[in-house]
Amino acid sequence: MNIEAKNKSYTEINAAIADSDDVLVSGCNGQRFIGAGTGGKKIEILGIPGNALGAYLNGSEITVKGNAQDAVGDTMNDGKIVVYGGVGDAVGYAMRGGSVYVKGNAGYRAGIHMKEYRDKKPVIVIGGTAGSFLGEYQAGGIIIVLGIGVKGEIVGDFCGTGMHGGKMLLRTNVPPKDLPEQVKCVKATVDDVKEISGYVKEFCRLFGQDEKEITDSDFYLLTPNSASPYKRLYVMN
C-alpha cells in the first residue's frame, strides 16, 4: 500500500498502516508516532518522520530513507528500525528489545534507560557520532558507536552517567573524557569485537560500509564498574 502523507495527520497515517502489512509512506513531514505499537508490518518512509517513530514497536520493520526526529524507538519491545540519515535526541529511550541502525549521527541521550530481560537484548548501532549523555542510566543492551569518517572524540560529555547495566562499544582511539567513576573503560579485546560482529555486519550490509575496515579498528568497551553505587542502588542480588 502507498500512503501519501501530505496534509494527513499521524492518526490517519497509522489507520492506513493498520490495513496493510507492507506500506510505503511518501511525503512524510514531521508526523509523529508513525508505526507506534505495530507488529508484523514492513514500513518504508520517504521524508522526515516526527517524534516517537516506532514507539512501543512490537515486531515491525521500519526503514526511513532520510533523517528522523527525537525518540526513535521509544520503549520499543521488538522489531527493527533503520534510518538512512541522522536521528535527534533520545533514540532508543527505555528500549526493551529489537534493534535500531542509524547511518549518521545521533543527538543527546541515545540509549537512555535501555534495559534487557532474559532473551530480550536491545541494540543501537550509530554510524557517526553520539551527543552528550550517551547511555544515561543504561540498564542493559548494547550501544555501538562507529565514528565513521570522524577523527577524535565520537561521543559528547557525560557518557554513561548512571550506567548500571549493559555495555557500550566505541570505535575510536580517543576514550570518552570525564567518565564517571561508576563506568569502567578499557580497550576492547578481539572477543569483545567478535561479540558485536553480527551487528556490524548488518550495519555494513544496510549502508554499504567495509566490515573488515570497521572490525579491524580500535574499540573501547564501557561497562558498569562492579563496585558501582548505581548497581547497588538499582540491581537486587
DSSP output for 27-91:
EEES--STTTT--S-EEEEEEE--TTTTTT-EEEEEEESS-B-S-TTTT--EEEEEESS-B-S-T
Whether residue 44 lies inside any domain: the answer is yes
* Of 93, 102, 140, nearest in space to 121 by CA: 140
Residue 75 lies in a domain: no
Report H helices in 74-180: none
Residue 74: inside a domain:
no
| Structural domain includes residue 154 | yes
Are 218 and 145 in a shared domain? yes
**In-domain check, residue 76:** no
Q: Which domain holds residue 228?
A: 86-234
d(CA 180, CA 13): 43
C-alpha 196/C-alpha 69 separation (Å) is: 26
Contact 110, 126 (CB under 8 A): yes
CATH number of the domain to which 190 belongs? 2.160.20.60
77 in any annotated domain: no
Q: What does the pLDDT read at residue 230?
A: 57
Task: Tally Cβ neighbours within 10 Å of residue 212.
Answer: 9
Q: For residue 189, count other CB atoms closer than 10 A to its CB.
A: 11
Is 118 in the same domain as 213?
yes
Q: How many domains does the chain have?
A: 2
pLDDT at 235: 53
pLDDT along the chain (237 residues), means of 10: 94 95 96 97 98 98 98 98 98 98 98 94 98 97 97 94 95 91 94 97 98 96 77 51
Q: Are residues 44 and 90 in the same domain?
A: no
What Rg value do the Cα atoms of the chain yield, rounded? 17
Together in a domain, 112 and 204: yes
For residues 1 and 63, state if they share a domain.
Answer: yes
Structure confidence at residue 178 (pLDDT): 86
Interior/surface letters 12-49, b for 16+ CB within 10 angstroms, e for the rest = ebbebbeeeeebbbeebeebbbbbbebeebebbbebbb
Please tell me whether residues 213 and 167 are part of one structural domain: yes
* Same-domain check for residues 18 and 100: no
Other C-beta atoms closer than 10 Å to the C-beta of 184 total: 17
Is 0.85 surpassed by the pTM of this model? yes
Same domain, 227 and 112: yes
Q: What is the pLDDT of residue 49?
A: 98
Structural contact between residues 120 and 139, judged by C-beta atoms closer than 8 angstroms: no
Clarify whether residues 33 and 135 are in a common domain: no
Same domain, 159 and 96: yes
In a domain, 61, yes or no: yes
Is 80 a member of any domain?
A: no
